[in-house]
A and B are shown apart, each in its own frame.
Chain A
Amino acid sequence: MTQEMQFKTIVAQYCKVTPEEMTNSMRFREDLGFSSLDFMSFLGELEDTFDLELEEEDVLKVLTVEEALELLERL
Chain B
Amino acid sequence: MKEYYPLTAAQKMHHNWIKTYKTQQVSGVSVVASLKSPLDFGLLKKCIQLEFERYGCMRVRFTRPDKDGEVKQYIVEKDTRDIPLKDLSNMSLAEADQLMQQWAYETFDGDDIPMCDVCMVKLPEGFHGFFIHMDHRLIDSCGLVVMINDLMELYTHYRFQSSYPDDLADFETVLAKDLKRASNEKRFAKDKKFWDDQLDALGEPLYSDIQGPSVLDEARKRHGMENLRAADIELENLFVQVKDYYLEPEPTKNLMDFCMNHQLSMTNLLLLGIRTYLSKVNNGQEDITIENFISRRSTHDEWTSGGSRTIMFPCRTVISPDTDFISAAYEIQNVQNRIYMHSNYDPELIEKEMRRRYHTPEHTTYESCYLTYQPMPVKMENPHLVNLQQHSKWFANGAATKKMYLTVSHTEEGGMNFSYHYQTAHLEEHDMELLYYYMMRILFKGIAEPDMSIGEIMRLV
Asked if A pairs with B, the answer is yes
- Scan residues 39-53 of chain A and give those whose CB is less than 8 A from a CB of chain B: 39-44, 47-48, 53
**Is B300 part of the contact surface with A, judged by Cβ < 8 Å?**
yes
**Is A36 part of the contact surface with B, judged by Cβ < 8 Å?**
yes
Chain A contributes a number of interface residues (CB within 8 A of B) equal to 18
Q: Which one, A42, A47, A48, A56, contacts B298 given CB within 8 A?
A: A42
Note all chain B residues with C-beta closer than 8 A to A36.
Answer: 265, 333, 336-337, 340
From DSSP, what is the main secondary structure of chain A's interface residues?
helix
Closest partner residue, chain A, to B194 (CB atom): A56
Note all chain A residues with C-beta closer than 8 A to B295.
Answer: 37
Do B181 and A48 touch across chains, with their CB atoms under 8 A apart?
yes
A42 to B294 alpha-carbon distance, docked (Å): 15
- Scan residues 337-371 of chain B and give those whose CB is less than 8 A from a CB of chain A: 337-338, 340-341, 343-344
Do A37 and B343 touch across chains, with their CB atoms under 8 A apart?
yes
- Scan residues 18-63 of chain A and give those whose CB is less than 8 A from a CB of chain B: 35-44, 47-48, 53, 56, 59-60
**Is B19 part of the contact surface with A, judged by Cβ < 8 Å?**
no
Note all chain B residues with C-beta closer than 8 A to A7.
Answer: none
Q: Which one, B181, B186, B300, B341, contacts A40 given CB within 8 A?
A: B341
In the complex, 29 of the A-B residue pairs with CB atoms within 8 angstroms, ordered by the A residue number, are A13-B300, A13-B301, A14-B299, A14-B300, A35-B265, A36-B333, A36-B340, A37-B295, A37-B296, A37-B340, A38-B298, A39-B340, A40-B337, A40-B340, A41-B296, A41-B299, A41-B343, A43-B341, A44-B181, A44-B187, A44-B344, A47-B187, A48-B184, A48-B187, A53-B190, A56-B338, A56-B341, A59-B341, A60-B337
Which residues of B line the A interface, CB within 8 A?
A: 181, 184, 186-187, 190, 265, 294-296, 298-301, 333, 336-338, 340-341, 343-344
